[in-house]
Amino acid sequence: MEYNFSTIEQIARKKWKDGNVYKVSNSSAKPKYYVLDMFPYPSGAGLHVGHPLGYIFSDIYARYKRMQGYNVLHPMGFDAFGLPAEQYAIQTGQHPAITTEQNINTYKKQFEKIGFSFDWDRQVSTCDPSYYKWTQWIFLQLYDSWYNKEIGKSDRIDNLENIFNIHGNTTVNAACDEKVRSFSGEEWKAFSTLEKQNILMDYRLAYQKDSLVNWCPALGTVLANDEIVNGVSERGGYPVEKKKMSQWFLRITAYAERLLQGLDTLEWTESMKDMQRNWIGKSIGAMVSFPLKEHEEKIDVFTTRVDTIFGVTFLVIAPEHELVKKITTAEYIDAVDEYIRVCASKSDIERQSEKIVSGQFTGAYVLHPFTKQEVPVYIADYVLAGYGTGAVMAVPSGDQRDYLFAKKYNLSIIPILDTQKSENEADATKEGKYINSDFINGLNYKEATKLLIQKLEETKLGYGKINYRMRDAGYSRQRYWGEPFPIYYDTEGLIHTIDKENLPVTLPAVDSYKPTGTGESPLANSKEWVERMGPGTRMETDTMPGYAGSSWYFLRYMDPQNEDFFVSREAQGYWQNVDLYVGGAEHAVGHLLYSRFWHKFLKDNGWVNTEEPFKKMVNQGMIQGVSAFVYRYNPMHSETITPDNKDYEASFKNMYKIPPEIYISSESLQLIENKEEAEVNRFTVFLKEVFKSVGQVCVDEFEFNVSKILFSKSHVDINYVNNKLLEVGSYSDYLKKITDRPCVFFRSRDTNFYVEREIEKMSKSKFNVVNPDQIIEQYGADCFRMYEMFLGPIDTAKPWDTNGISGVASFLRKFWRLFYDDLGNAKPAGEEVTNEELKILHKTIKKVSEDLERFGFNTCVSSFMIAVNDLSKLKAISKSTLTDLIKLIAPFGPHTAEVLWNNMGNPTSVVDAEFPLYDEKYLVESVFNYPVQINGKLRANMDIPLDMPQEEIQKLVLSDEKVVKFTEGKTPKKFIVVTGRIINVVV
RNA sequence: GCCCGGGUGGUGGAAUGGUAGACACGCAGGACUUAAAAUCCUGUGGCCAUCGCGGCUGUGCGGGUUCGAGUCCCGCCCCGGGUACCA
């Protein structure tokens, strides 16, 4: 048989399908292993070469584990709710459910071509009502729960009401809103239903509160952060404001400590854990109240350095702080308003990234809690409303931002430690003894902190506190394509939930996916939806965010068809949790934190029996695209010509009836930019001809300006590009379809047209998507799989480039030729098993096994290449060696392995073959070729038996001709032998 | 700004603190062939060289630890990801 990958793939696929080999059972005598991929969002662009990187990786590992004797769960599904489908629906009017299903089908076809071992009977899709029924159900459980700190887990809200009935909230230790007031049992009973609802809202794990959204009045819609570029809407460039709306939140902060502690039990990379730790942002400090001079209120600040309190020379509060309006004095109202207006136009990131400190005095003063001195209150954008209390006490001697602020606004800087060097910049030291600090003078950091907190608590002006940077998770989206909330409001505004029996609450058909113009979701347009629960009632019109469905999907794979529960205890009890999770590091603090939170909540209720969802993680790097750009000359630009009078310009534009699109070869543009006269002239002549050809008169009178600003850079689809060369013919055919203007191309002097190439994230919008279909067609699935692995380590980002794929293709052919000759005849296997082949085989098994364990799949492929190169040199290879080789390669190139396995006379599938083990006895060496260094520089190589004692080695080495030359016969100061590694002589 | 990564030939990359550049691509030369494809062989970091002896230098930049540093430590520069409504 000849090496024809398309035949081979057909045979293998048929065998797998007929044998139903990827069906996974929930009961087995084998140990279980769960390999999970982050499921994809089914984009309209189809699968691109970046997607399969992680999937091939996990597929190889899943196959390897299966060959090691595990019952492996390796499922796939679709994260199918999301913004792009909705935007596509707005443009085309097609229902997102339809386009999403089409996209899913495309993805599945592509997956099947790559030979993944997914059990498709377990597919889940988050937009499937039978799936989101349970997303809604879990949400309702969160709504009906509160976090009882006393028992360290969540509890039913009914229990809380029972406590309130007897004791009020005085005995309750809950994770709840900071501002909740205390009440007795009697008071509780006297509250109205609405009051009770509002109080319970402060305790629920899913709750409502007012919060800000990005509101774009011009587009009449709420925008995602991703849709805003430089403070304006990406579409249209309209201004964006902050708008207050009532929204759902999940009280993830209740789980902050457990989310933090749980990290220690996980086999994730330290960097991944660090990102979560920093996101959670635990800090131990104190809450301090600064009473306002002219008002009743106090300004509360959280500080991790309460010891620096005598260095406070001003207070800074966020521009959005609730007290700003109240405390600003008449004199400063205008300036404060203006400052707030400027801040509102910036995003949090822009505000934090600002290098120049800015702020505004409010005219108000607070009193220092100990010295009772007046401290001025400023607003500044570097203080964010969402973090802590939205107010900080500024200590310019110890904090650099405060220092810069103080310098700018001429505020005093008080050093507070005897070791502090704060003349030119802030010094955040904790060393030394306190000075200028009243009753803590002379104390050290630890003593001072303790005493201060004690004093604050005595005077009721503060207390010790642990603060988390993490905020509760926003759970409302003003969109159509998401899970509807099983929530409605009655005529009195009371909230009702929809019973489990009536779930799922399915998305209704709507006439238009367009925004309402009020900021509400498109569902608000549907009267049928809004009044679904009766006249005068109102269904919740917002939908759930993307992370709702993706926070628990891995549990559904365990028991996908269960209609009675999201996962049965038996199924979850068998599969436990995910043993290996493969996905991008960009999810480090989003999806991965939300999933952990949901899982802990489910655990609290006994619905799952594991505390953490993902034991081990591998983060694959992004495969980037190599975008191509063309430059288009814009002849309508006012600076195209440099007329002395404006009339020229006007008349030019008038006369100019059919403006062509003029493209310029990037190489020529480069020359023009470098002011190379010949090229500038050539282009000018070209322009004149173009203009004449379209009937432009008096061209000769114009002076063409060809500076680079007149060229607009735009993406060109990489399918029209070969390396740097543009296929002008096919590209202009394409342009004809999308523009009615004629297009002309200014080529380089060598008659080629060059494009510019840049590495970017692979995305449909950047026209740099490489579809795997063509590559698989040209090289086959196994080659594609192995090439993606061969590209480099799984965790580094790398640009896609097919230049090296021929190496893998020829490796597969060489591998095949171990079994068949050039004419496709089976080669006779070697009669004897030679030591030579065993050495090659076992060296390869060892290396591949070790590399598989440490996830270095790129070097596995290298080892295969080395093995095949070495084995090709042998006259004949025994059947047993060839068999082991097939098994070794099977996870990587399953189609080829399956067919060879078949052809060797094995009736079963190679999928269930046993992964070979290596035997150390074939690998032992008696002699090692030592590199000999003299003073750390390599000077010689010597063969020395590995069991030779050090004294003898020393004698041998020192007598070597080369060594004598470089040591100049001196006695060495040191003689280092690292057995089997290196010898270093120090003289 | 903050948090987390990364930076090694022309390119992708390899290297438990132990011979830097494995394995590939590309390129150059050669074999086979009418030719091409395929296949095979040789060479390939840079500089110097009495180009088959050898030498110097070299892993973003500057320091340090060590017998020995791409690898560990300190200080920079640049690039990528995340930054709470892209998924």
Backbone angles phi, psi at A246, to 5 degrees: -80, 125
Lowest mean pLDDT among A225-234, A697-706, A977-986: A697-706
Q: pLDDT above 90 covers what percent of chain A? A: 57
- Give pLDDT, residue A870: 93
- Give pLDDT, residue A421: 76
- Give pLDDT, residue A90: 86
Render pLDDT for A215-247 as a digit per residue (tens, 0 to 9).
888 888 898 888 887 777 777 777 888 888 999
- Protein residue at shortest CA distance from C1' of B55: A939
pLDDT average, residue stretch A77-99: 90
Record the tokens describing residue A338, joined without a space: 């203006």
Residue A683 has pLDDT above 70, yes or no: yes
Residue A340 has pLDDT above 50, yes or no: yes
CB-strand contact A274/B, under 7 Å: yes
CB-strand contact A933/B, under 7 Å: yes
- Give pLDDT, residue A792: 92
- Give pLDDT, residue A645: 41
Q: How far apart are CA A257 and CA A897, in angstroms?
A: 49
Q: pLDDT above 70 covers what percent of chain A? A: 94
> Which of A137-141, A395-399, A916-920 has the highest average model confidence (pLDDT)?
A137-141
Q: What's the CA A859/C1' B21 distance, rounded, in angstroms?
A: 15
Residue A281's nearest nucleotide, by CA–C1', is B3
Residue A931's nearest nucleotide, by CA–C1', is B19
Q: How far apart are CA A757 and CA A666, in angstroms?
A: 10
Hits for CB < 7 Å against strand B across A residues 412-441: none
Q: What's the CA A35/C1' B70 distance, rounded, in angstroms?
A: 33
Which domains occur in chain A, in start order? 282-468 (3.90.740.10), 624-761 (no CATH), 772-919 (1.10.730.10), 927-986 (3.10.20.590)
CB-strand contact A2/B, under 7 Å: no
Peptide bond into A504 cis (omega under 30): yes
- Give pLDDT, residue A386: 74
Render pLDDT for A171-191 as a digit per residue (tens, 0 to 9).
999 999 888 899 999 999 999
CB-strand contact A348/B, under 7 Å: yes
Lowest mean pLDDT among A537-541, A560-564, A568-572, A948-952: A948-952
Residue A636 has pLDDT above 50, yes or no: no
CB-strand contact A283/B, under 7 Å: no
pLDDT average, residue stretch A970-983: 88
Q: How far apart are CA A70 and CA A48, in angstroms?
A: 31
> Which of A36-50, A485-499, A615-629, A961-975 has the highest average model confidence (pLDDT)?
A485-499
Residue A937's nearest nucleotide, by CA–C1', is B68
Backbone angles phi, psi at A853, to 5 degrees: -65, -35
pLDDT band at A257 (very low <50, low <70, confident <90, very high): very high
- Give pLDDT, residue A646: 44
CB-strand contact A856/B, under 7 Å: yes
Question: Which 3 state secondary structure label does DSSP give A682?
Answer: helix
- Please, are residues A393 and A380 in contact by the beta-carbon 8 Å criterion? no
Residue A400's nearest nucleotide, by CA–C1', is B1
- Protein residue at shortest CA distance from C1' of B2: A352
Residue A43's nearest nucleotide, by CA–C1', is B87
- Give pLDDT, residue A658: 52
Q: Which nucleotides of B are covered by protein (CB under 7 A)?
A: 1-6, 11-16, 18-20, 22-26, 38-40, 55-56, 67-69, 80-87
CB-strand contact A10/B, under 7 Å: no
Residue A982's nearest nucleotide, by CA–C1', is B18
CB-strand contact A224/B, under 7 Å: yes
Of residues A89 and A885, the one with the higher pLDDT is A885
Residue A644 has pLDDT above 70, yes or no: no
Lowest mean pLDDT among A20-24, A300-304, A762-766, A861-865: A762-766
Of residues A640 and A959, the one with the higher pLDDT is A959
- Give pLDDT, residue A647: 47
- Give pLDDT, residue A765: 67
CB-strand contact A808/B, under 7 Å: yes
A955 CB contacts (<8 Å, ≥6 apart)?
none
Residue A655 has pLDDT above 60, yes or no: no
CB-strand contact A191/B, under 7 Å: no
Burial of A893 (0-12, 13-18, 19+ CB in 10 A): buried
3-state SS of A811-833 is: HHHHHHCCCECCCCCECCCECCC
Q: What's the CA A791/C1' B9 distance, rounded, in angstroms?
A: 17
CB-strand contact A874/B, under 7 Å: no
> A32-37 and A71-73 as β-strands: parallel, antiparallel, unpaired?
parallel
CB-strand contact A977/B, under 7 Å: no
- Give pLDDT, residue A165: 96
Q: Output the DSSP codes for A897-926.
A: HHHHHHHTT--S-GGGSPPP---GGGT--S
A711 CB contacts (<8 Å, ≥6 apart)?
A631, A632, A633, A634, A664, A669
CB-strand contact A647/B, under 7 Å: no
Q: What's the CA A939/C1' B47 distance, rounded, in angstroms?
A: 20
- Give pLDDT, residue A859: 95
Cα torsion angle, A225, A228, A229, A234, sign: positive
Phi-psi label, residue A924: left if phi above 0, alpha if psi -120 to 50, beta otherwise: beta
Mean pLDDT, all residues of chain A: 88
Lowest mean pLDDT among A45-54, A424-433, A829-838: A424-433
Residue A542's nearest nucleotide, by CA–C1', is B85
Residue A326 has pLDDT above 80, yes or no: yes
- Give pLDDT, residue A723: 65
Q: What's the CA A588/C1' B79 distance, rounded, in angstroms?
A: 20
- Give pLDDT, residue A705: 59
- Give pLDDT, residue A599: 98
- Give pLDDT, residue A696: 62
Q: What's the CA A801/C1' B11 distance, rounded, in angstroms?
A: 10
pLDDT average, residue stretch A465-471: 90
- Give pLDDT, residue A702: 57
Hits for CB < 7 Å against strand B across A residues 152-181: none
Residue A352's nearest nucleotide, by CA–C1', is B1
